[in-house]
Structure formats: structure tokens, C-alpha cells
Amino acid sequence: MSSPTARYPVCKVEDLKSEGRIITTVKGVEVGIFSVGDRYYAWRNMCPHGAAPVCEGVVCGTRLPSLVYEYKYGREQEILRCPWHGWEFDLTTGRHLVDQDVKLRGYPVEVAEGQLYLVM
Amino acid sequence: MAKPRIIDADVHNAIAQPKDLLPYLPRAWHSYWLSAGPAYGGGWVSPISVLRKDAKTDDGGMPGSDPHYMLKHHFEKYGIDYGILTGSGILGISVNPNPDYANVLASAYNDWLIETWMKASPVYKGSILINHSDPQAAAKEIDRMAKHKDMVQVIMCSASRMLYGQRFFHPIYEAAERNGLPVAFHPGTEGRGISGPPTPSGYPTSYFEWHNILPINYMAHVNSLVCEGVFEKFPKLKVVAIEGGIAWLPHLMWRMDKNYKGLRDQVPWLKRLPSEYILEHIRLTTQPIEEPRNSEHLNQILDMVDAGRTVMFSSDYPHWDFDNPRMALAPIRKDLRSRILADNAMELYGLQDVPDSSPLATESSEGGVRP
Ligand code: FES
């Protein structure tokens, strides 16, 4: 049986905006909170590949699929790269860019009066 | 005393600051080292850098550069009893064009290693760095350093001008055998300095392309070591092919055995099938372990190379392609896994008991407490 969900205050929106990301522990689980534009995402700090602390990775853009010898840059600040093997995850969906079946575990985030809450 | 559970056969200890090496380096080379570093040039740039982003030391120093931080961040975290240190950023001195510089750097590095790492904890075991482009000097360095009981192997880069079986290198093997040490080689400098291009047809374009194909150099060296009779000449010698992959080996062994049946008279000094020399004398490390879609295929490959005696676990900490022992070996069958995690390295390096600092060392297997 899963335990009932509750809202946990994790940080102030302005702190997240100024620090770029916040890694915190909720119910014994390490979670990284990210903001992309004006939306917020929370991902478990555990890479599905080799269990690296994935949320400590670089937040960046990437080269988009293109024609041979063409380079197109995009998705600035929407990609999280694992600090170990460099797997690229879409911060907005948690999915690996190459293998859509590989996903970060995510949690809903709610905002009220400048405070971010994690629903777990 | 308890036996080790995990031995990590490839851990990279870095020099925190270039000036740290000066006390060990002849004065005549100080300014050269400070301005040029190891100076073997070239190389491919990894888009995600070679060092793990989460492995900076507590005070923001280079990953791998602090022995005390590494104990916490790597050894204690994963329950690793011993780590074989393989150096960082200096392995390629053998492909520096100046053999005199490479020789003094090797000696300085080895002295620094003893002072800085061996003294920090008994979990650290060292590899004697040599300059393989001057085999006589390398043999002397092996004799000089082998006196330290914490130095458990000889190491050189896998990039080279010549194939490793050739007689030019034999003084190195003779010295290693004389001192009872295995000789390891480690990739990463292929195509740099005075080494040949990393493929017989030249230079790959990207780091990705270059990294994919590193095992071809390993195939070439292992083939050469066997065919040139190195293991007939030095029957006690063991060679550790670090970080070169595993899955290519069955292919090479079968090809060599098949050709041996027809072409044996070109290598009349070989008394056994080439694959038998390989399984007896070559040791491989796991990282970066192959990750086939069907993990059973990995077990099949491990069986083909008799992994229960030939393969040792390695993490490559703190490099980007680090393997976590809890995850990376999960697909491997249990009976093989314990051999790979510790037993094969225990036997090769003579590390029978856990070191004194290990939590296991304070309780005997009977449950009593050691004095
Ligand atoms: S552990 Fe994250 S990419 Fe391998």
C-alpha cells in the first residue's frame, strides 16, 4: 500500500530562481528542483543508468537532430546532463533524449504565494 | 582476517597542482614542467569533460586530487577495500618526444605517489609509472620502485610507436617479472604525441568516434605480445589490459587459434594455442563494461573469456565513464561476480586481507576483535 501523499515545502521560488537548482531531501529521498521558464520540475537525484546523482549534472542546451554536417543548437537550459556518463535528460519530461523509455522519476510541484511544494 | 569484498583495479589519482611535483623533480626540469606539463599534445575534446562533475573535492579542487576526500567519496561509499591507483594526466609521458624528460617525470611522479597517496591510507596501492620509450631506463625505475611493497604493478600508456610484443620492450617485461609485478597498460593517449594514429587509417573526427575504437589498439598489443613469444620468454609475466573492453577478446582468440593451425611455423616458439597464453597471462578490467540490450549476452562473453580468472572490477573513478559497482555488475551471474569484484585482483596483486583501515579489519571472521 502506498502512503498517502502530502505537500512538503521545499524552497522559495526566488531562491530557486537565483540558485538555478536546489537539491533537497524529502521523506528520505533526494530530489532536485529545477525551473525551466516559469515552470518547475522535481526529479529524483538518481540516474536510471548507473545511479549517479543526476541532479548535480550540467543544465544546458544541446545540438538538435539535424542533417549530416549540420549543427543546430537549441533547448537552452532545458537539458540535464548526468555528471557521470553524460546522458541527456529533457528537464520538462524527464525522458532521455535517445531512449524515450528511460526516464527520471519525477514528482509534482505546486506553487503558492512564492513557496514551492513537492507532492509526495 | 577478512578477505576483501571489492578491489577497484582502476582509480585515478591526480596531481592537485603542478608545483606539487617540484620537490621530486630535478631542478633542471622545473620550468619545463611548470610551463609545458606532461606535453604529449593533441587529443580529442569530450563534450562532457573527462572528469566527473560531481567529484570535485570539498574545497573545489580537481576530481581525484585529494586522497582523504577520495576515501569518503569513493571507497567508503561503495565499500571498496583496495584501489589500484593508475594516475591521471601524466600516463602519456611515454609518447612525449623527449625520453629524458619522460624519465625524470616518471621518477618524480612515483616518489610523489609514495609520499602523497601511499602514506594517506593502506587502501591505496600504487602502479609504478614508466616511460616505455626508453626500456632500459624503465627497467631501472621498476627495480628502484619495486622495493616499496605498496607498489603492486607497473603501468604505461597503451599509445605507442610500436607494438608491445616487440623485443624493444622486453627489458621492461624482464624487470617486471624479476620483481614479481604485472605490467598494465591504460588507454587515453592513442593518437597523441609520438604514437601512431589511433586507427591504421588515421585519425577519427570526434572524441566519441575515437573512444569507440580504442579496443583496436588493445587487440593489436595482445596479438603482438602472444605472437612475439613474450609469454614463452617471460613465463611468470602477467599483463593487465585496463579499460580496453572485453567483448573483442573471444573474436581475437578464435582468429588467432584458427590461424595458428595453418601458420604456426612463423612462430615456432609458441608451444600452445594463442588463446591459452591469453587466458593465462592477460587480465582485463571491467570498466567501461559493455552494455548489450540483452544482458545475458554479457554473461556469455564473460564465459568465453573465462572471466572467473581473467576479469577484474574497475570503476575508473573519477572519470566520466565511471562504473558503479552496485549497478554495473548487476547483470553478471553471481558466481562470476565475486570473482570479478575481488578474487581475481586479490590473487594478481597479492591482497589477501582487508587493510587495517577497513571496517571489516576490526572484526575477525569468528566475531572476535583484533588487538
Ligand atoms: S549514471 Fe547517469 S548516465 Fe550513467
What is the Å distance from ligand 1's center to B54 Cα? 12
Give ipTM to 2 decimals: 0.82
pLDDT for residue B42 = 83
- Find the CB nearest B327 among A50, A56, A83: A50
Alpha helices per DSSP H over chain B:
30-36, 67-70, 77-78, 99-113, 135-145, 170-178, 207-212, 215-227, 230-233, 249-263, 274-281, 295-304, 307-310, 325-328, 334-338, 344-349
Based on C-alpha coordinates, what's the Rg of chain A? 15
Residue A61 touches chain B, beta carbons under 8 Å: no
- Find the CB nearest A85 among B47, B55, B320: B320
pLDDT for residue B53 = 84
Stretches where chain B sits below pLDDT 70 are 357-371
Ligand 1 shell residues, CB under 6 Å: A 47, 49-50, 52, 54, 82, 84-85, 87
Cell numbers describing residue B241: 589490459
Per DSSP, chain A holds a count of helices (H) and strands (E) of: 1, 10
Q: Which of A85, A88, A96 to mutate to test the pocket of ligand 1 (most atoms within 8 A of CB)?
A: A85
Number of residues assigned to chain B? 371
In this predicted model, what pLDDT tens digit does every residue of A58-99 receive, in sequence order? 999 999 999 999 999 999 999 999 999 999 999 999 999 999
Of B329, B97, B328, the C-alpha closest to B194 is: B97
What is the Å distance from ligand 1's center to B290 Cα? 14
- Find the CB nearest A50 among B47, B55, B323: B323
pLDDT for residue B65 = 93
What is the Å distance from ligand 1's center to B325 Cα? 13
Cα separation of B172 and B178, whole Å?
Answer: 10
Asked whether the beta carbons of residue A50 and residue B324 sit closer than 8 angstroms, the reply is yes
pLDDT for residue B362 = 42
Q: Which residues of chain A have a CB within 8 Å of the CB of B320?
A: 84-86
In this predicted model, what pLDDT tens digit does every residue of B196-238 receive, in sequence order? 999 999 999 999 999 999 999 999 999 999 999 999 999 999 9
b (16+ CB within 10 A) / e for A76-114: eebbbbbbbbbbbbbbeebbbbeeeeeebeebebeeeee
pLDDT for residue A3 = 67
**DSSP of B126-179:** EEEE--TTSHHHHHHHHHHHTTSTTEEEEEEES--SS-TTSGGGHHHHHHHHHT
Cα separation of B242 and B286, whole Å?
Answer: 8
